[in-house]
Amino acid sequence: MNIPGYTYGSVAPSPVTLKDLEELKKAVLFSAEDEKYLKMAGEVLKDQIDAVLDLWYGFVGSHPHLVYYFSGPDGKPDANYLAAVRKRFGQWILDTCNRPYDQTWLNYQHEIGLRHHRTKKNKTDNVKSVPHVPLRYLIAFIYPITATIKPFLAKKGHSADEVDKMYQAWFKSVTLQVALWSYPYAKDGDF
């Protein structure tokens, strides 16, 4: 797999500890059962990634105040930037479902947060775009990234109960990840 800018396994350590991660998992009620249903979701979603991304990109693209964060110096969306991020976003779906939530995963979550924050935004793709995504949008995106996934989870003939368990596991994971991505936005000692 060669996705430009996808550096899973080769980023700096997260300042969040594994103990912190375990406590956050408990705070969102994330359990071993959720891990099981996320793996099931990964199987269900793996051949639907482009359709999911088409929906999400359509949502972002239909809101000028959101696509703004992918704009170049001319104020227009940078198609190359959008395409590069899209590849990583697709991989993020698979990683959410299939990767163990261990130190390597935790490190990459921190990297994702940095890439939205002024610390590293634009550096991965070497683009000239808006220098920072406000925290409010990371938090607000929990809903559309969660609500829109359920129809995709229901497309492979699983029972309503299994679909709901996959959906709940996804919701918990997205909430957990956004909490981790918020680290660069917090003042020292506030995370």
CA 163 distance to own-chain centroid = 20
Cβ contacts of 151-158, under 8 Å, gap ≥ 24: 152/44, 152/45, 152/48, 152/51, 152/52, 153/41, 153/44, 153/45, 155/44, 155/48, 156/43, 156/44, 158/40, 158/44
Over residues 27-50, mean pLDDT? 98
Residue 61 vs residues 56, 67, 77, 166: alpha-carbon distances, Å: 8, 5, 9, 27
Handedness of CA 5, 99, 90, 150 (dihedral sign): negative
- Asked if 113 and 184 count as a contact pair (C-beta separation under 8 A), the reply is yes
Domains, the chain, ranges and CATH?
23-185 (1.10.490.10)
| pTM (2 d.p.) | 0.97
> What percentage of the chain reaches a pLDDT higher than 70?
99
Confidence band for 131, pLDDT divided at 50, 70 and 90: very high
- Asked if 180 and 101 count as a contact pair (C-beta separation under 8 A), the reply is no
Tens-digit pLDDT profile for residues 133-155: 999 999 999 999 999 999 999 99
Count of residues for the chain? 191
One DSSP character per residue, 133-158 reads --HHHHHHTHHHHHHTTHHHHGGG--
How far is it, in rounded angstroms, from Cα 114 to Cα 122? Answer: 10
